[in-house]
Structure 1
């Protein structure tokens, strides 16, 4: 495979680390800023909202820039945001800088996928794109646990300082290894926006938002849940986050394979499984072995949904997938924001640190309901197709 993919994977590793490591160092950041755990959850929501805003806007800007220039600009903005966040004087500035760091997230992956595909030989394009996203999955296995450990031992600011260094390394690697590809052909923005007139596209985005919102309602507060309820030490939380990352990686691989074979039935099963495992976690969180097993399956079930929904929305977008593909990143991070907000709401309401798991299970059921509606529309369209053809 082209060595340029390594540069893209480094960038994906940094982005994945900064997005998810906040969950592991949330108690340390809350204590440093002098705010409650639910209030510190806005640091997670701030990043997610940055992705929501930046993905479509910066993707639109990407069509006017050479891909390599776009990748370097996005990594530069990413590095700046994380540097400023590490220097944040208070909670308010922290949320603003997390928002800034989240802006380039979706646009980087959108441009990176195009570059990875263009560099690969015919028949190996999907594999090339998956190599870039391998950096994202490795972030959950390696970057997040090590970043959490560093935050606990040295301080959360050191964690994001290291993330900023990863951003600089990614910029250097992109500049050195990614070939110049020229300015892309100007696309039709009207055509791209036309995909959003399809109800199935909006249903797919809603399934991502609510189905994966269930995962983030749980994971946003996993560190205090495991220490204060389960009884793990902060250092053991690092290992458990790595276990969740392994589940995410396996789920991502399984989800992609199942999507190729039977997309909608597999999606139903994944959402049912996610709702069940989150509900079970409200009970297993009280025991160390049960919690460890359950957190693995939360990552597994949750991240099976991602590749399924990516395939689903590309199918429903027709021949204009670029902006819709960026919108998936927005929906993913709206899920992050909603999950963190609702999870913090029930904690602040006095329902306890395991209450976000019930919120997550409810969101997964809502996502399942929307998936059933979408599947019903497919069947109705299939019945009407012969009549319309005649």
Structure 2
């Protein structure tokens, strides 16, 4: 792929339908980082421990991953557009109910429902963007990753602003924004043809029999452990208010967006996807270890979080691009299989990070996250021969 195919011009020359789905993606991925700035506030208001509050991530990711197994089955029967709209409606409902909850258990369960809606939307959205965007798969993935990066950056900022008013504010804010996204997709996206072949509930499991896809899924699972250790646990050791946390993770998300859209394509064009992935995973492990070593320094943690954002953006783009091409199955099936493994496997990280901190101290979660990311490098290396066709 040439660098030009990945340039920012591809984002500016897309049909309205692609922009509508991309906007909905922005709001959907805002939901991941939105609760970050309000985790300490929720813990204080509802008298919950860090591990209990971190279940907001765990329930969300667990249900997102499990639901991924049936998204392709549903989409091949009712069509991609209806599947996305169903997911958006679920997010609107459960985000609103989360804002109305009065207990940590209630919020955790409503976040699980939010995760179900998120799965129906995001697993279908990537395939839809690929089908409606101009410029081919590479351009579509650039647009998709740009939407993810923007959502990741704006989510914490909005969470901090609304969370400064009330911890309930971010939940209601997402509900409203998702309602706007629902209308945009409903009006601007024409019906996307159903796949010619109906997807079986067993297809994602069958797809994982391809060694290349399985290698990438396991690598992503282990990488996600480090990712969500940082995202879910670091707010508790920064000791900042909602606005400050929102700004920290806003800049984290901005760097994630910039590197995913601009830097990642240039690195892969020059050095190749897999070699670049090796280096970025190693840098992430070093960064997490540094956070454990410097956990008592607020400045050091802020810098390390920002650096992590730049690294994560590159890794995310490479993983998404490779997964779309590594197995001879439909993209929606490959996405479902891959996402099931990485989300379900990574769901334990937020809760475990809180537990490790409670039992062994604040440095341990970062060290464990670093070790697991190193293991992801070993997993990638073990399956490297199955990725020979990947550039």
Q: Check whether TM > 0.5.
A: yes
2-side partners of 1:326 and 1:334: how far apart?
12
**In the alignment, does 2:17 pair up with 1:4?**
yes
The aligned counterpart of 1:357 is 366
**1:58 and 1:104 in contact (8 A); partners too:** no
**SS at 2:35's partner residue?**
helix
The aligned counterpart of 1:68 is 81
**In the alignment, does 2:174 pair up with 1:170?**
no
Residues 1-390 of structure 1: matches in 2 within 5 Å?
1-121=14-134, 123-151=135-163, 153-187=164-198, 189=200, 193-227=205-239, 232-253=240-261, 254-260=263-269, 261-334=271-344, 336-352=346-362, 354-376=363-385
**1:13 and 1:136 in contact (8 A); partners too:** yes
Q: Which moved more, 1:39-48 or 1:54-63?
A: 54-63
Alpha-carbon deviation of 1:347?
1.0
> What stretches of structure 1 of length at least 5 have no aligned partner?
383-390
Cα deviations across residues 323-373 of structure 1 (Å, max 9, x unaligned)? 221233333423541221221121120412x33211211111111111111
Q: How has the CA–CA distance of structure 1 residues 133 and 76 changed in structure 2, closer, same or farther, with 3 Å as cutoff?
A: farther
**SS at 1:219's partner residue?**
helix
**2:35 and 2:170 in contact (8 A); partners too:** no
Q: How many residues align?
A: 374
**2:205 and 2:337 in contact (8 A); partners too:** no
**2:152 and 2:253 in contact (8 A); partners too:** yes
Using the size of structure 1 for normalisation, the TM-score is 0.88
Cα deviations across residues 113-151 of structure 1 (Å, max 9, x unaligned)? 333233234x34532443244232112222321212321
**SS at 2:48's partner residue?**
coil
Q: Which moved more, 1:88-97 or 1:109-118?
A: 109-118
**SS at 2:272's partner residue?**
helix
Alpha-carbon deviation of 1:203?
2.2
1-side partners of 2:265 and 2:167: how far apart?
34
2-side partners of 1:129 and 1:264: how far apart?
17
**1:56 and 1:326 in contact (8 A); partners too:** yes
CA RMSD of aligned residues (A): 2.4
2-side partners of 1:271 and 1:133: how far apart?
18
Q: How has the CA–CA distance of structure 1 residues 125 and 205 changed in structure 2, closer, same or farther, with 3 Å as cutoff?
A: closer
2-side partners of 1:139 and 1:335: how far apart?
23
Alpha-carbon deviation of 1:289?
3.5
**SS at 2:190's partner residue?**
coil
The aligned counterpart of 1:386 is none
**1:5 and 1:132 in contact (8 A); partners too:** no
2-side partners of 1:98 and 1:275: how far apart?
29
**1:12 and 1:133 in contact (8 A); partners too:** no
Alpha-carbon deviation of 1:64?
0.5
1-side partners of 2:370 and 2:127: how far apart?
35
Using the size of structure 2 for normalisation, the TM-score is 0.88
Alpha-carbon deviation of 1:188?
5.3
Alpha-carbon deviation of 1:235?
2.8
